[in-house]
Amino acid sequence: MGKFVIKETATGVKFDLKANNGEVIATSEVYKSLDACKNGIESVRKCCDGDIEDQTVEGYETCKHPKFEVYTDKGGEYRFRLKARNGEIIATSEGYKQKSSCLNGIESVKKNAPDAAVE
């Protein structure tokens, strides 16, 4: 089972969702308070069953929120972002060289987030 790890930063508080092997699957924005960060974790739990909108293909079909958006960054790597029901980004991934690895990251969020402990 994965876990959410809350960390203090220079400007606030953020969380990482980690898989069993300790790898970071997704990261949050920096929140101003611990309560706001915990609310972000709850949003990920509620929204992690969203559909996948693959923005790397031409003419992709737009999905309703909540959803995972797959896109390529400026360096050509694949990334995903999880958007809540209100359209806000609540978690983002690292860059992946392979699209299949990015999709595996999404599946890992879907599998780990609902029951992940909070540290």
Q: Containing domain of residue 91, as a range?
A: 3-118
- Per-residue pLDDT in tens (0 to 9) along the chain, 119 residues: 799 999 999 999 999 999 989 999 999 999 999 999 999 999 999 999 999 999 999 999 999 999 999 999 999 999 999 999 999 999 999 999 999 999 999 999 999 999 999 99
pLDDT at 1: 79
pLDDT at 108: 94
Which pTM was predicted? 0.92
pLDDT at 15: 97
Is the sign of the CA dihedral 81, 106, 53, 49 positive or negative? negative
CATH of the domain at 61: 2.30.29.80
pLDDT at 32: 96
DSSP 59-98: TPPPPPSSEEEEEE-TTS-EEEEEE-TTS-EEEE---BSS
pLDDT at 67: 97
Instruction: Count structural domains, the chain.
Output: 1
